[in-house]
Amino acid sequence: MIHTGPADVQSHGRLRSSGSPVRVVFLAPTFPPEMIQYTRGLAEVGAEVYGVADTPREALPKELRRHLHDYLQVPRIMDEPDVIDRVTAWMRGKHVDRALANWEPLMILAAGLRERWGLPGMSVDDVRGFRDKEIMKERVRAAGLRVPRSKRVRTPKEILAAAEEIGFPLILKPIAGAGSADTYRVSDRTELASTMALMRHVAEASCEEFIEGEEFTYDTVSIGGKPAYENVAAYLPKPIEARSHEWISPVIITVRDMHQERLRPGIELGRQVLKALRMGDGFTHMEWFLTPRGEAVFGEIGCRPAGAHLVDQMNYTSDIDLFREWARVACWRSFEAPTARHYNVGIIFKRAMGQGRISRIEGLGNWKREAGRWLVEDKLFRPGTPRRNWKNTLLSDGHLLVRHPDWSEAHRLSFSAAMGVRLYAE
The reply to whether 188 and 272 lie within a common domain is: no
Position 73 in a domain: yes
The reply to whether 324 and 221 lie within a common domain is: yes
Tell me what pLDDT residue 175 has.
Answer: 81
The reply to whether 24 and 72 lie within a common domain is: yes
Tell me what pLDDT residue 370 has.
Answer: 98
**What sign does the dihedral 280-281-282-285 (CA atoms) show?**
positive
The reply to whether 204 and 221 lie within a common domain is: no
Which CATH number fits the domain that encloses residue 222?
3.30.470.20
Task: Look at residues 409, 408, 421, 410 and name the one whose alpha carbon lies nearest to residue 379.
Answer: 421
Strand order in the sheet with 184-186: 150-153, 205-209, 170-174, 184-186
Last residue of a domain, one of 103, 121, 139: 121
Q: Are 185 and 148 in contact (CB under 8 A)?
A: no
DSSP H helical segments within 236-384, as ranges?
A: 239-242, 264-276, 310-318, 322-332, 364-371
Position 131 in a domain: no
Position 307 in a domain: yes
Q: What is the pLDDT along the chain (426 residues), one digit of tens a residue?
A: 354 433 332 223 334 433 578 999 999 999 999 999 999 999 999 999 999 999 999 999 999 999 999 999 999 999 999 999 999 999 999 999 999 999 999 999 999 999 999 999 999 999 999 999 999 999 999 999 999 998 889 999 999 998 999 999 999 988 876 656 788 889 999 999 999 988 888 989 989 999 999 999 999 999 999 999 999 999 999 998 998 899 999 999 999 999 999 999 999 999 999 999 999 999 999 999 999 999 999 999 999 999 999 999 999 999 999 999 999 999 999 999 999 999 999 999 999 999 999 999 999 999 999 999 999 999 999 999 999 999 889 999 999 999 999 999 999 999 999 999 999 999
Tell me what pLDDT residue 14 has.
Answer: 39
Position 128 in a domain: no
Distance separating the N- and C-terminal Cα atoms of the chain? 58
CA contacts within 13 A on the Cβ side of 120: 23
The reply to whether 419 and 299 lie within a common domain is: yes
Domain of residue 165, residue span? 149-209
The reply to whether 205 and 219 lie within a common domain is: no
The reply to whether 195 and 240 lie within a common domain is: no
The reply to whether 100 and 153 lie within a common domain is: no
The reply to whether 82 and 161 lie within a common domain is: no
For 104-186, where are the E strands, in sequence order? 150-153, 170-174, 184-186
Position 143 in a domain: no
3-class state of residue 336 by DSSP? coil
The reply to whether 186 and 59 lie within a common domain is: no
pTM of the model as a whole: 0.90
Tell me what pLDDT residue 179 has.
Answer: 57
d(CA 103, CA 122): 15
The reply to whether 326 and 343 lie within a common domain is: yes
Neighbours of 152 (CB within 10 A): 17
Which CATH number fits the domain that encloses residue 157?
3.30.1490.20
The reply to whether 164 and 59 lie within a common domain is: no
Position 142 in a domain: no
Position 137 in a domain: no
Which CATH number fits the domain that encloses residue 109?
3.40.50.20
CA dihedral 209, 211, 212, 218 (to 10 degrees): -170
Burial of 228 (0-12, 13-18, 19+ CB in 10 A): buried
Query: CA dist 308 to 51, 83, 178, 179, 218, Å?
Result: 23, 27, 12, 9, 15
Q: How many domains does the chain have?
A: 3
Position 127 in a domain: no
Task: Look at residues 241, 217, 416, 176 and name the one whose alpha carbon lies nearest to residue 311.
Answer: 217
